[in-house]
Every structure is written in structure tokens, then in C-alpha cells.
């Protein structure tokens, strides 16, 4: 029987459980992809938005508990999802829960990066805020062309930017979990801030660069999936084969 690994995915700002449909279109069959849902969007649209990191992590922790005892798993998060992946792992450690075999992070600097709190994009007036969102790329043309869709997404995006930009870093012990950090060559990220991920793991951090802007993940789907599969196969005793 083919061995499967649960890949727990945390959406980027503004994303729902459907955020990674394009990225994981051709995911190898050895993965069970499970995208978590934040309150206030997607299937939880009737719930209140939340911009408090501790509350969101508690919510993610409850979602994780329904999965992590069912076999080996890894965590993946892009941008905001990468920051929350780290916080979720810390929560799992604190509660003596089974830990992921690996954490994959794309498009975000280390949790202690000063730029996380110096940027206050969530406070920008609507026009400037939408312009900032558009500059990051990754938003479908049909949404960019629809004022109604932009009006609908603005409070969700503003909430998530606030979540990231008001997060207070706490210097906790490094994880005994290996990390892979992938960033785009054209992202507005300083290399020294990306390298801050090194202090968050005692088990090693692999850094990879791929061409593109903040949503380079949509240009390099096959390479990202191959990286995940190759990394997982090296880590465990019974290799996963696609």
C-alpha cells in the first residue's frame, strides 16, 4: 500500500481553504493536502475576522489535533501562512503533541524580522491599501477588474495584514524540526531578514531562491512540489514515492 503523508497548509493573507488550488493542482498522490481555514472567510465566512495571532494559533491548533495523531505530517505556509506555521509548531511543542517531520515556508522573512512591525500597510487608506495588495501580485485578473470583489476582500486582507504587522515576536527555544525556506528573487525582502529563520530551528534550515515576485509559487509549482517530495523522502524511514 502506498504510504501517504498529511500536508497541513496554512493560507496566505486573504486566503481561504481554496487558496492553494492552483499550486497543488498536480500534487503527487502520496500527499493528503489539508488546507486549514481561518475564521471570517471561505467555509467560515459567517464567523468574525480575527487579527490576534494567539487566538488564530489556538484555532489552528484545534484543527491540527484532528489530524496529527493519524500519521506523519508536514506543515506548509506561504507569507502569513509561513509565520503562522512557525507559531503553530511552537504551540504543538508546548503541548507535547506529535510534531511535523518538516516545515516548508515560502515568501516570508524570519519571525524576528524588524520589517514585520515597521510596515503598517493595514492602516493605509483604501486606495493606497488596494494598490499595495495589487503590487504583491497573485490576485486573479477577474478580481482586480471587479470593484465589488475588491470591496469584499478588502476587510479580510486588511485584517490579515494587521495580524502580521502587529505580531509581537517572542524569543522561544528553537524547534527541533527542520525547515525549508523558499523565497522569490524579486520579493521585497532583505536577505539578512530571510536568514533569521536560522535561529528558529536546531535541526537545520535549507534556503532556496526561485525567480519571481511574492507569488513566485504560482510560477514554480512543479519545482516546489518536487522539493517537498524529495525532502520528505530523505527524512523518513519508508520513503514516499510519487
pLDDT in tens, the chain (242 residues): 467 899 999 999 999 989 898 888 888 888 999 999 999 999 999 999 999 999 999 999 999 999 999 999 999 999 999 999 999 999 999 999 999 999 999 999 999 999 887 888 899 998 898 888 888 776 666 776 678 888 888 999 999 999 999 999 999 999 999 999 999 999 989 999 999 999 999 999 999 999 999 999 999 999 999 999 999 988 775 555 44
Strands, DSSP E only, in the chain? 5-10, 31-35, 73-78, 103-106, 179-184, 205-210
Cell of residue 145, nine digits: 477588474
Identify the pLDDT of residue 141.
67
Identify the pLDDT of residue 226.
93
Identify the pLDDT of residue 1.
47
Could you tell me the CA-to-CA distances from 56 to 10, 38, 62, 91, 172 in Å, in that order?
11, 7, 10, 11, 18
DSSP label at residue 166:
T
Identify the pLDDT of residue 239.
54
Considering the domain delimited by 5-111+173-235, tell me its CATH architecture: 3-Layer(aba) Sandwich (3.40)
Cell of residue 218, nine digits: 504560482
Q: How far apart are CA 116 and CA 83, in angstroms?
A: 10
Other C-beta atoms closer than 10 Å to the C-beta of 109 total 25
0.85 exceeded by pTM = yes
- Beta carbons of 103 and 85 less than 8 angstroms apart: yes
In the chain, where are the structural domains located?
A: 5-111+173-235
Identify the pLDDT of residue 138.
67
Amino acid at each position: 500500500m502506498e504510504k501517504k503523508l498529511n500536508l497541513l497548509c496554512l493560507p496566505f493573507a486573504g486566503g481561504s481553504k481554496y487558496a492553494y488550488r492552483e499550486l497543488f493542482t498536480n500534487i503527487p498522490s502520496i500527499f493528503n493536502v489539508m488546507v486549514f481555514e481561518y475564521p471570517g472567510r471561505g467555509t467560515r465566512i459567517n464567523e468574525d475576522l480575527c487579527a490576534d495571532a494567539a487566538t488564530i494559533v489556538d484555532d489552528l491548533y484545534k484543527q491540527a489535533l484532528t489530524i496529527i495523531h493519524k500519521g506523519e505530517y508536514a506543515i506548509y505556509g506561504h507569507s502569513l501562512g509561513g509565520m503562522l506555521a512557525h507559531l503553530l509548531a511552537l504551540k504543538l511543542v508546548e503541548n507535547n503533541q506529535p510534531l511535523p517531520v518538516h516545515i516548508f515556508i515560502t515568501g516570508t522573512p524570519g519571525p524576528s524580522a524588524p520589517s514585520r512591525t515597521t510596515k503598517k500597510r493595514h492602516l493605509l487608506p483604501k486606495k493606497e491599501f488596494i494598490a499595495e495588495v495589487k503590487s504583491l501580485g497573485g490576485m486573479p485578473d477577474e478580481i482586480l477588474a471587479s470593484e465589488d470583489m475588491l470591496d469584499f476582500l478588502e476587510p479580510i486582507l486588511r485584517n490579515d495584514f494587521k495580524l502580521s504587522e502587529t505580531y509581537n515576536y517572542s524569543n522561544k527555544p528553537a524547534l527541533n524540526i527542520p525547515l525549508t525556506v523558499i523565497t522569490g528573487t524579486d520579493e521585497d525582502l532583505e536577505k539578512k531578514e530571510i536568514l533569521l529563520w536560522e535561529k528558529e530551528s536546531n535541526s537545520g534550515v535549507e534556503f532556496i531562491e526561485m525567480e519571481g515576485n511574492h507569488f513566485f509559487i504560482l510560477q514554480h509549482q512543479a519545482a516546489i512540489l518536487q522539493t517537498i517530495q524529495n525532502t520528505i523522502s530523505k527524512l523518513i524511514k519508508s520513503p514516499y514515492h510519487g
